[in-house]
Amino acid sequence: MPFETINLTPIYIALGVGALLVVLALWKKALTIPATISAFVILVLSALFTSYTGLTVFSVSFVGIAIVGQVKKEKRKDREKDLYEHQGARGLVQVLCNAMPALIYGAVYFATGIHSFLIASAVTVCAGVADSAASDLGILSDGKVISLLTFKKVERGMSGGVSLIGTISALTTSVVVSAIVFAVGEVGIKGLWVIALMGFVGTLIDSLLGAGIQRAYRCSKCQKLTEKRLHCGAPTTLVKGLRFVDNNIINVVSLIIAGAISLVF
Ligand SMILES: [Zn+2]
């Protein structure tokens, strides 16, 4: 069992790398202060639960998301401001919803030593970062965006919509993240494939759930679809999905499902 033979080295590295990432996050304004503190704790816990695999996959994802966030920052900001309640720095809830599934599967691995849970933990991180890259780059796309549920054209940036750029970003991210996890040496060649495949499938599950049950509103003044409750200074009306289901809930549920499917392999 991993908990009987705790390796302290990855934990010490996590403390060091975490401190550097805290500086990066605050400097680049990638995370709010509470989100930065929780990301630090998550990194250390993942190093405890899943050793070098967790440490590496979280560090790489974090840097990757920060770099992607710098691409055409102004254009993204401009396109997001009409659509989402929160833009710019990621908040505490967003960080927790993306990292909790990995910590849960990681904790099971820590307690039981069952290797599939280590893979499932890496799958959820991979799917989370792939989804983030797909959203952040997809919104910059000027190409067609379709709903994965109806295959009809939808407005860019709305949850459940998939674009070509977003899909390619998700696929590339999944392959890169799984290759890095493989290079760490704690998962085998089968793990490499499962993480790459399920990382990408996780983003599809996210899009399907997003199209199916995530709430969306319409502005009564400009008629645009939005995730905001207030638009053009007036309250918007719910036109799709369940009122209590926001993007964070979709993220956490789709990551748990992707991890659970990977356990079957
Ligand atoms: Zn409006």
- Give me the pLDDT at residue 37, please: 95
Q: For 66-104, what is each residue's pLDDT tens digit?
A: 889 888 989 998 998 888 887 777 889 999 999 999 999
Q: How remote is the CA of residue 229 from the centroid of ligand 1, in Å?
A: 10
Q: What percent of the chain has pLDDT over 70?
A: 100
Q: How far is CA 152 from CA 160, 162, 219, in A?
A: 11, 10, 21
Contacts of 9 (CB under 8 A, 6+ apart): none
| Mean pLDDT calculated for residue range 165-174 | 96
What local confidence, expressed as pLDDT, does residue 42 receive? 96
Q: E strands within 112-160?
A: 145-147
Could you tell me the distance, in angstroms and rounded to a whole number, from the CA of residue 84 to the centre of ligand 1?
Answer: 12
Taking the centre of ligand 1 as the mean of its atom positions, its distance from the CA of residue 167, in whole angstroms, is: 28
- Average of per-residue pLDDT across 217-232: 91
Identify the sign of the CA torsion 166, 168, 173, 174. Answer: positive
Domain ranges of the chain: 73-264
Which residues are found with C-beta within 5 Å of the ion, ligand 1? 219, 221-222, 231-232
Gap from CA of 71 to ligand 1 centroid (Å): 27
Residues 6 or more apart in contact with residue 101 via CB below 8 angstroms: 121, 124, 128, 252, 255, 256, 259
Tens of pLDDT along 24-66?
Answer: 988 988 889 999 999 999 999 999 999 999 999 999 998 998 8
Q: Measure the N-to-C terminal CA separation of the chain; round to a whole number of Å.
A: 21
